[in-house]
Amino acid sequence: MPLLHHASLVSSLFLATSASSATAECDRVASVFFEYRSAVVLTRARQTLEVLAAQLPTGSRVVLRGHISAEELAEDGSTGLDENRAAVTAYRLSAAADAKTLTVERESAGSTEPYSAEGPDQAFDRRVDIWLCPAGA
């Protein structure tokens, strides 16, 4: 059974994101997006995390990779916003999982993995990608 059927979880326009060493054997199952210079989880993102948490089996290993846009990087330098986005996403995902035991790891990519499809749209660069990893990976 495929993990996520919820249409708003992953845009069909998203191009494959390269895997880091932590996610080499994992599948990206969702992305949540943020307002400019913000790490506040928006209502739509919270809904995405709730749907995801409901479908994750107990004991799942999840890797959250935070991103910032080039515009945010140019304006603020390396402020840790990508790390903050991953941290608040981890908190919300864990809260939505309720009593399920999850292993949630966080990493930051800065602006090194920009979104691109039909030209740049930095709104998509302000995100956290959510990767589901197989047991033992």
Which residue segment(s) compose the domain that 121 sits in? 21-133
The CATH number that applies at residue 42 is 3.30.1330.60
pLDDT of residue 77: 72
Q: What is the pLDDT along the chain (137 residues), one digit of tens a residue?
A: 334 333 333 332 233 344 456 678 899 999 999 999 999 999 999 999 999 999 999 999 999 999 999 889 988 776 799 999 999 999 999 999 988 899 999 999 998 888 765 556 778 899 999 999 987 65
Q: Is residue 28 included in any domain, yes or no?
A: yes
Q: What are phi and psi of 94, to 5 degrees?
A: -65, -40
- Quote the CA–CA distance of 53 and 102 in Å, as a whole number: 9
> Which pair of tokens denotes residue 121?
């749209």
Q: Is residue 4 included in any domain, yes or no?
A: no
Q: What are phi and psi of 5, to 5 degrees?
A: -110, -5
Number of domains in the chain: 1
